[in-house]
Amino acid sequence: MITRYETYKLQARVRKRKRAIEMTCLTEGGQRPLGPEDIPLVFNTRNDRKLLPSFLAHYRRLGVSRFICVDDISSDGTREYLLSQADVDVWSSPLRYRDARRGREWREALFGRYGTDRWYLNVDSDEFLIYEDCERRPLRDLLQALESRGERRLAAPMLDMYPVGSLGAATLDDDDQRMPWEIADHFDGSGYEITYTKRAISITGGPRKRKFAHELELIKYPVIFWDKDCSLSVSIHQPLPCERNFLAVSGVLLHFKFFSDYKEKIEQAVVDGQYFDGAAAYRKMLEDLQKTGEFDFANEHSLRFSGSEQLRELGFIAPIAFAEANRR
């Protein structure tokens, strides 16, 4: 009852501040409609050219058939690369990421344009979804399993990935055919805290909290059935309606921030000031970097990533009751 009342209050707030968002489809021929069998993925990106080949390959293998992207004035070839991909619609907006409520208004505008009452993946270009047996089970199987449980979204925290040893040696180039977890291949195996609020699950921890005392919210809902009652306007970590957020954590988002260009990325984030609280978390990282000259995230709890079975055995993801006939 408390959660439903919270949803009611927040929906009233959202209605008051809802506004039209100016966006332009840059893809030749303009926006292309989705078919009923499409599994679309909506993502924001800025200067992530090096991750895009593996990002698209990962989600295509899972069964994504259409990509819908907002490019926030990239300058590293990201936009040009995405425009060359036949299954990607690229959008731009005069609003920057911060001014679009950290990209949430872009996403909502795109859900409205491409159609409600359907499943979407909703991620960033440095997030790679992992769920039980995803090496063999396509997204279609996952969606059927969620529907059979009466669930309309998937809870999945970000799992920050990092290399062991010098970050300067962790090179990922634009045309690298490796997956990012072959380079930034470790994660913290412990040190997380899960709590429950009126609005959603809350998970904190990981290497950024351990090294920089960043109390960052890790939970997201990267698979979501979008209908007229949904909104991201309060927070990407607490989508409305709140009642749908209390689920078994059945996935993770492998989150890739730390490669050989991490110093440049941190400096760009601070100068750009688009992230939460004027990029305060990045400012703290830059201060530490100026003191130490290098980051080393490894400690006694660091584990090498080996796949979805490992995460299930460690308790990071809950098992999913797939229909056996659907196994590929």
| pLDDT, tens only, 57-90 | 999 999 999 999 999 999 999 999 999 999 999 9
Residue with the larger pLDDT of the pair 118 and 5: 118
Residue 205 DSSP symbol: -
b/e burial code for range 107-120 (CB count within 10 A of at least 16 → b): bbbbbebbeeebbb
* CA-closest candidate to residue 255, choices 188, 132, 164, 161: 161
pLDDT tier at 20, thresholds 50, 70, 90 = confident
pLDDT at residue 109, rounded to an integer: 95
In one letter, which amino acid is 88? V
Q: d(Cα 62, Cα 75) in Å, to the nearest integer?
A: 29
For 180-213, write each residue's pLDDT tens digit: 999 999 999 999 999 999 999 999 999 989 988 8
pLDDT at residue 167, rounded to an integer: 75
Q: Percent of the chain having pLDDT more than 70?
A: 89
Q: How many residues does the chain have?
A: 328
Q: d(Cα 143, Cα 19) in Å, to the nearest integer?
A: 31
pTM of this structure: 0.91
In one letter, which amino acid is 152? R
* CA-closest candidate to residue 209, choices 191, 235, 194, 195: 191
Residue 260 reports pLDDT greater than 70: no
For 132-183, write each residue's pLDDT tens digit: 999 999 999 999 999 999 999 999 999 999 999 877 778 888 888 899 999 9
pLDDT at residue 263, rounded to an integer: 64
Residue 194 contacts residue 247 (beta carbons within 8 Å): no
In one letter, which amino acid is 68? I
The angle, 0 to 180 degrees and rounded to 10, between the axes of the packed helices 262-272 and 276-292 is: 140
Q: d(Cα 319, Cα 313) in Å, to the nearest integer?
A: 10
* CA-closest candidate to residue 160, choices 126, 193, 136, 111: 126
Residue 229 reports pLDDT greater than 70: yes
Tokens of 234: 């309060």
